[in-house]
Amino acid sequence: MTATNDVPSQQFESRRRELGETYLRTGDDRPASSGRGVHHTALVSGDVERTIRFYQELLEFPLTELIENRDYHGSTHFFFDVGNSNLLAFFDFPGLDLEPYREVFGGLHHVAISVEPERWQHLRDKLAAANVEVSEHSGVSLYFRDPDGARIELIADPLGEMYGTQVL
């Protein structure tokens, strides 16, 4: 079996192993991070009200602030509580002719938000009832796109864990 661009997947695995041996540190060998956590991640919204309805009403992330963007007159900067003192923020840019969302190098691939397993089931049912196309993986991950096309993941694994493996 070959991977992207007909490069054998064995080469990818070899490169990952080399990078891990060079840079990956575990336990006591890993220095403490200089960061305190993600204050917020900011995405672009094509319609403020539509975004609020999606994130607050459908996904149940409370809207916590709604202010003018200090960098662009008329733009709204708004925030949702995604738990654990983390915020998901948005900007709209009225009057700018922005292209639709697309994944590009250096751009956003997805935002993964940890939710309790019971809440994960509940939100999966709400997404289905709202006819939001969802891709489920490993029994703990739901991938879908928000109204502007950004890929969102709801993951039932605890923070610091990925598919049953401690990553932090």
Does 118 fall in a domain?
yes
Q: Write out pLDDT tens, residues 118-163.
A: 999 999 999 999 999 999 999 999 999 999 999 999 999 988 888 8
Does 101 fall in a domain?
no
Domain residues for the domain of 115 are: 36-93+109-166
- Rounded to an integer, what distance in angstroms lies between the CA atom of residue 73 and that of residue 152? 28
Does 9 fall in a domain?
no
Domains identified in the chain, total number: 1
pTM: 0.84
- Rounded to an integer, what distance in angstroms lies between the CA atom of residue 142 and that of residue 69? 31
- Rounded to an integer, what distance in angstroms lies between the CA atom of residue 121 and that of residue 142? 10
Report percent pLDDT > 90 for the chain: 62
Q: Write out pLDDT tens, residues 84-129.
A: 999 999 999 888 888 777 777 777 889 999 999 999 999 999 999 9
In this structure, what DSSP letter does residue 99 have? P
Does 154 fall in a domain?
yes
Does 61 fall in a domain?
yes
| CATH (domain of 123) | 3.10.180.10
Q: Which residue bears the tokens 């192993």? A: 17
The answer to whether 150 and 101 are in contact (CB under 8 A) is: yes
Dump the DSSP string for 31-89: PPPS-----EEEEE-S-HHHHHIIIIIIS---EEEEEE-TTSTT-EEEEEE-STT-EEE
Q: Which residue bears the tokens 């796109």? A: 145
Does 21 fall in a domain?
no
